[in-house]
Structure 1
């Protein structure tokens, strides 16, 4: 982050990723702030699977990859990486790719459908409200997930192996003990990078996951263990939030307005400029 910053100064800031923490630590405007890294932000929920199966049944004879994401510019890349991974799998099993998400731009739907067709990948696309409303309800139908951000955390809490998209490759990588630290640092965003991974190694690992039930079981166990340690909102995490809140309420607000004078002026001026651009009725 640049030395010049118009970020609003707060005495206490809770951050979700190590990347965010490092950014705030470098910003001199937050030199006197209490910075807390608390990535845990997923509640464990139970859903009526039997009722949901009327909409989407799990196919026990097919290994199913799933991606839940908006279908548009931001996340189409991760979907295409999922298609490419499935195309390269070395397996005799039936494999399919389920994508659930609101369509932001129709052109990306056609791009995704064409990519799947060219790759000979079985694609099921669901984009109507009964599917997209809390799409994580349908994780029961998946054997593995292509995931980013919060979706990664939800899938791992459901004991599902997750492949994270990479910014410098055309394939997503399995989140395991080796890749977790680097991917977690960027909060499992599409900007993730992992040093030392080759495409051949990624495909070999993915193929083993599809073909080897014991390896799949190990990956599921690892996913759940990491979710319990890092992602799920437990009673201890709730207590930590309350403790931070109560300490903050005991502090005096003196000086906050003065410290935020620059961002106040900056944003007021920005609104003034924008107001001039908006046609008046």
Structure 2
């Protein structure tokens, strides 16, 4: 039985947590029995779930590298960071530009306990961790970590990866808009959005399992997913399943029916 030790203060181990279920399904070690039980139930409902989760993270890698390489972005705000599994965002973008700054945000005590792994920046760059919730964007934007590391006179890459299906309407659009609001023109939003468009029965059963674990989900169709980027300039190839967004060799052989996530990158005007 793989459990973190010691237990971080404020940790609730009597119910599953999305970050720890994610860790279990991907073969990590930072979870509790309740997370493993939930993860096993979800995999029974949809055996492709590990493939789906891996491709969501690989999208983050490609999007971060693309913004650093092709658009010169040198500072990033990563919302809903999750457990630090290498390569993390700062490792990807600092490989391109060692001077890059990355601010990570999450509200899970286990992520906080392992945040030191997120702070191993290059000497030229910087990383910071904010213990905060996307539902309270002002706590993120007013944090000393954000103010110290993010220069609002320069473009920022806002990464919202693998979390929007846990942000329910009508708050979802307001929260994304609030995080984008202070970022200057020329900043970018990279986001993944859960969908049941490609395996509705299986993904629906997974969503019901999450609901029973007190983690209700909102799954969006393509039109709804695309509408999150209204007023921004979508970069090619637009809103696609994550494995088809600027794919690399790792995406060869990935089946569309195994992916329940749209992804896109857009530029703020």
**Could you say which structure has the larger radius of gyration?**
1
Q: TM-score scaled to structure 2, two decimals?
A: 0.32
Q: Greater helix percent: which structure?
A: 1
Please report the TM-score for the alignment, with normalisation by the length of structure 1.
0.31
